[in-house]
């Protein structure tokens, strides 16, 4: 059974594994090996803890295993991340995480959400009602820039 729940600090290692696997195995279809290598640098074990504590951070748990996560920055109105493990792709889990983030955004009084979509995720977000604003570049911590697409959605109740 799938459950979408608030992330806890002790979820950070599983979240890190999901993040790296999604980049390496899902995003690789649209990015060069050099871009994937720079993007998929392992984070410190505590990398996610601050976001878990300060943002709307949710995980998808199925049969006791974390299979995805999503983060909403409630201050800026940005969907900062949605990642799932490859074996659950195309099962609607990413959609359920996104709907939870949108629900929380409405509860918090936000009228719209924006995000920087990876190139491979543009169809996912378009299907969810996000509109393309412009193509841009995202600078990774290594300094390398990768292509992405700024998208936006009105979410009034």
For domain 2-110, give the fold. Aminopeptidase (3.40.630)
- Average pLDDT rounded to a whole number, residues 25-42: 93
Quick one: which of 35, 97, 45 has its CA closest to 66?
97
Average pLDDT, the chain: 94
Q: Please tell me the predicted confidence (pLDDT) of residue 157.
A: 59
Q: Is the pTM of this model over 0.85?
A: yes
Q: Percentage of the chain with pLDDT > 70?
A: 99
pLDDT band at 156 (very low <50, low <70, confident <90, very high): confident
């Amino acid at each position: 059974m799938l459950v979408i729940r608030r992330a806890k600090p002790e979820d950070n290692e599983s979240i890190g594994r999901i993040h790296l696997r999604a980049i390496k195995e899902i995003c690789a279809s649209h990015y060069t090996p050099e871009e994937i290598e720079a993007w998929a640098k392992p984070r410190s074990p505590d990398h996610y803890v601050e976001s878990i504590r300060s943002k709307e951070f949710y995980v998808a748990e199925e049969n006791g295993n974390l299979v995805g996560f999503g983060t909403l920055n409630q201050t800026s109105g940005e969907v900062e991340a949605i990642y799932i493990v490859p074996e659950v792709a195309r099962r609607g889990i990413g959609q359920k995480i996104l709907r939870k983030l949108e629900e929380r955004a409405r509860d918090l009084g936000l009228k719209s959400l924006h995000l920087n979509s990876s190139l491979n995720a543009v169809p996912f977000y378009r299907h969810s009602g996000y509109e393309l604003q412009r193509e841009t570049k995202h600078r990774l911590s290594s300094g390398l820039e990768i292509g992405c697409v700024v998208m936006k959605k009105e979410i009034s109740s």
